[in-house]
Structure 1
């Protein structure tokens, strides 16, 4: 019965009750034969009843409603069996996955952390506790809390590529680029060994490489980042998007707008999956002073992202990206003040609505605002924008370089030198960003 429970829960992955209908249909079908069998103990039955509540009526009721039913069942289970730390861990994980953006989401993540942290303190080698702390604290506001768990988790499960990768979520949030590279190198190495022995490690290897590329770019080590992109090109046989996303990361961070402008989605990709390509096309065309192309790409992004949101969610993240694309399109048309107003609103929204990102951290809106204000020769305002961006994404190279330039142009040479020293202190290079 517990095996059936585990399969059913795993089939939904992190989406839980909001998993795609095809996954819910598959999991529900697998669970059906077991629901007619009475579990050996009440304890086991409560686990099964909880996952049943997550699935039952999936074709008629909302995912949010079924999530809440699952959480009620798990809360009853942990109260009835307080010594069952797994019940508490899975309840806390449910709180984490249902924590939306914004202050309310942060409070729910804190509630989950209040469950996880004492368990981690008591059982520092429990992989669930360390793992789930990282997920719960994967926001700019909470990341510092998870640093002990992040530094411990890789040693708990050194033969697991995912366990080796997960600490980088926190290292990326805090701007600890060297540690991010080291843990992802280990993850990619173990994942490659899995592949050699016939195990499914290809996604983990590519995901670790993506994170290594991003970290190298934040250190200004562009050549190392290019080497990683070549590795991704060589091994990404089943997912044509991975090399394209790696190229988008590189072009965005290095401001290679000429290359970014010609990025296209894979020929086999569905329209609702193409928003990444349309977004970077919009940003690139705007930087190249081509408002007509920017407008065309923006419309494609608007339609593609709306279709994705309808089927998969992520409206907060993609909506923020839409505002960024709209702002740069306005800027390319000469509507500079209107563009700045768009980015100010977006940057404020980003600060007021803390977001969880499933993948590499995006470029903070405040960083874009700083760049725009610098181009308008408003360095004092640009400096404020970069400083706000660095609170959300510490040690991000583009923000540090922008802040250095803005401080110098504002006449604050000591502050400018401080930013340059901060880049070098992390081992970074004062890389060229045109």
Structure 2
């Protein structure tokens, strides 16, 4: 594949010019040792032989180091950050003056679409960039890349993460403008746009721009892991998800050696309600993650496995496959150690039991969900802890336990206040939605229906204004679906149907959304609409192992209410 502006010949000429002008500086071994780089054999699972896609990024590092750099970049584009750092370390070992390898170390410790870097990772990135900047033997293009990632690390002690993500996006925009023929500059600019996107922007301006940039590159680089991967992240929203379906269905085949590449398509499958594809994707991902833990000598489990288990449980629940979903929860209970213990691990430990209990209306079970800190120190993860308190609140309300419900509400309010104090606006807002919904259901229990509906509508409106976090397949229960449940309980089926339909637009093919819509239409004496939603429900839960007790009733309704022909009411 040719890139007119960046041929190997032009790189060689630029290196020669730089070498003639100024003496190259090679970092000391002490400086390299101080980085504490991850080292060792590159571990990949799934497909053997490092099948990670095709990336071309010519540098001034030389042949042997270049091969390691290309492998590192393939891993980096699939968010295999630990293995990418190992490969960048190998490039450094082969050529300590390879400035771009230190850039790579800084990128591997950034992980822009995941949790913000730890203090240790930030310090490593700063040290790596200091070395990269000190090396004279680098091209102007390489210096531009190094300057761009430095914009993220600069003043990290005083400037918040989002502001530094915006600075990185602005810096990558300049690299992209200066080197328009450099596809990698375009790809990293698109990634930066997605990472810096405003979560409150419902027009998705940054995401749409990133998607357009990536889509323009795709025809000429159909096996580039970054293009395909970032298209999925860029369009990981209900309104945009269909645009990423071709990429989602291809990514696992392009980079089958990456556990994350095996999982990532399920983000789009979840958005579109394609549950069997979501199950298949995460079965492969979980298996690959288990393999990685074994090969890497991780004591316990790798965090990527827990992430896949969360999505897998959710997909099984939407298929009505309770036995399979419960198996994931039982397996979760056996997990006592995970590395690294991070936000997505805590999320899985909270969400899997909460989802199983709430989706199945097992209210007594929900009310008694434990807050066991043996594996997860919940005090370090207030947003995830709130999930369990919210589930316990709903369980208490639905089992007529007013005082326990109020105690859980107080816990939620305290966690929201803590997140607000920590200036974690997104997570504070997510807990605020749970607080509003929890208050609403407590009012229902107290017989104060008007106040309940006001608060529940506010919670649903607030949730509509934001997006779910990429770590989760869905809110624990969509607020507008909860509004439908409340309206149905208060004998307002027409309004309940409206709420369920609105929720299904954002969360297509959710089992309880379809079930609720069918029940609301049935109670509102709208047989054609009831037939449509029950038909969708039994189609979604068509597996032989689907055993939700509501399914036989839906089938009996369809048998006894043949309205005639197929019903075209999608979205109605």
TM bucket, shorter chain: over 0.9
1:32-431 alignment to 2 at 5 Å? 32-104=130-202, 106-198=204-296, 202-238=302-338, 241=346, 242-267=348-373, 269-273=377-381, 274-309=385-420, 310=422, 312-314=424-426, 315-362=428-475, 363-428=477-542, 429=546, 431=548
Inter-partner Cα distance in structure 2 for 1:190 and 1:360? 20
Q: Secondary structure at the residue paired with 1:14?
A: coil
Inter-partner Cα distance in structure 2 for 1:196 and 1:354? 35
Poorly superposed stretches of 4+, deviation over 6 Å: none
Inter-partner Cα distance in structure 1 for 2:537 and 2:202? 34
Contact 1:54–1:66 (8 Å) recurs in 2? yes
Q: Secondary structure at the residue paired with 2:112?
A: helix
Inter-partner Cα distance in structure 2 for 1:316 and 1:47? 35
| Structure 1 residues 208-248: Cα deviation after superposition (integer angstroms, max 9, x where no partner) | 22211111100111011111222223345336844443211
Greater mean deviation of Cα atoms: 366-375 or 197-206: 197-206
Deviation at 1:10, TM superposition (A): 2.0
RMSD: 2.3
Q: Cα gap change, 1:306/1:56 in structure 2, threshold over 3 Å: closer, same or farther?
A: same
| Structure 1 residues 305-344: Cα deviation after superposition (integer angstroms, max 9, x where no partner) | 3324526442332332222222222222222211111121
| Structure 1 residues 161-180: Cα deviation after superposition (integer angstroms, max 9, x where no partner) | 10000000000011000100
Contact 1:279–1:301 (8 Å) recurs in 2? yes
Q: Cα gap change, 1:62/1:17 in structure 2, threshold over 3 Å: closer, same or farther?
A: farther
TM-score by length of 1: 0.93
Deviation at 1:263, TM superposition (A): 1.5
Contact 2:494–2:521 (8 Å) recurs in 1? yes
Greater mean deviation of Cα atoms: 9-18 or 295-304: 9-18
Inter-partner Cα distance in structure 2 for 1:394 and 1:21? 39
Greater mean deviation of Cα atoms: 140-149 or 98-107: 98-107
Q: Which has the larger radius of gyration?
A: 2
Q: Cα gap change, 1:133/1:402 in structure 2, threshold over 3 Å: closer, same or farther?
A: same
Inter-partner Cα distance in structure 2 for 1:402 and 1:430? 17
> How many residues are aligned here?
434
Q: Which runs of 5+ in 1 are unaligned?
A: none
Contact 2:144–2:175 (8 Å) recurs in 1? yes
Inter-partner Cα distance in structure 1 for 2:512 and 2:505? 13
Q: Secondary structure at the residue paired with 2:201?
A: helix
Deviation at 1:249, TM superposition (A): 1.4
Q: Secondary structure at the residue paired with 2:371?
A: coil
TM-score by length of 2: 0.71
| Structure 1 residues 363-417: Cα deviation after superposition (integer angstroms, max 9, x where no partner) | 2111100100111011111011000000010000011111111000000122112
Q: Secondary structure at the residue paired with 1:197?
A: helix
Q: Which runs of 5+ in 2 are unaligned?
A: 1-98, 552-572
Inter-partner Cα distance in structure 1 for 2:115 and 2:139? 25
| Structure 1 residues 70-121: Cα deviation after superposition (integer angstroms, max 9, x where no partner) | 2222111112212221111111111111112233561221111111112223
Q: Cα gap change, 1:21/1:321 in structure 2, threshold over 3 Å: closer, same or farther?
A: farther
Q: Cα gap change, 1:354/1:246 in structure 2, threshold over 3 Å: closer, same or farther?
A: closer
Q: Cα gap change, 1:14/1:312 in structure 2, threshold over 3 Å: closer, same or farther?
A: farther
Inter-partner Cα distance in structure 2 for 1:17 and 1:345? 29
Deviation at 1:353, TM superposition (A): 3.5
Inter-partner Cα distance in structure 2 for 1:350 and 1:244? 20
Inter-partner Cα distance in structure 2 for 1:208 and 1:86? 29
Inter-partner Cα distance in structure 1 for 2:372 and 2:335? 16
Report the equivalent of 1:432. 549
Greater mean deviation of Cα atoms: 15-24 or 192-201: 15-24
Contact 2:468–2:474 (8 Å) recurs in 1? no
Q: Cα gap change, 1:216/1:63 in structure 2, threshold over 3 Å: closer, same or farther?
A: closer
Contact 1:17–1:54 (8 Å) recurs in 2? no
Deviation at 1:426, TM superposition (A): 2.6
| Structure 1 residues 38-59: Cα deviation after superposition (integer angstroms, max 9, x where no partner) | 3510111111101111111122
Inter-partner Cα distance in structure 2 for 1:354 and 1:292? 32
Inter-partner Cα distance in structure 2 for 1:324 and 1:39? 59
Inter-partner Cα distance in structure 1 for 2:537 and 2:137? 58
Greater mean deviation of Cα atoms: 277-286 or 213-222: 277-286
Deviation at 1:430, TM superposition (A): 7.4
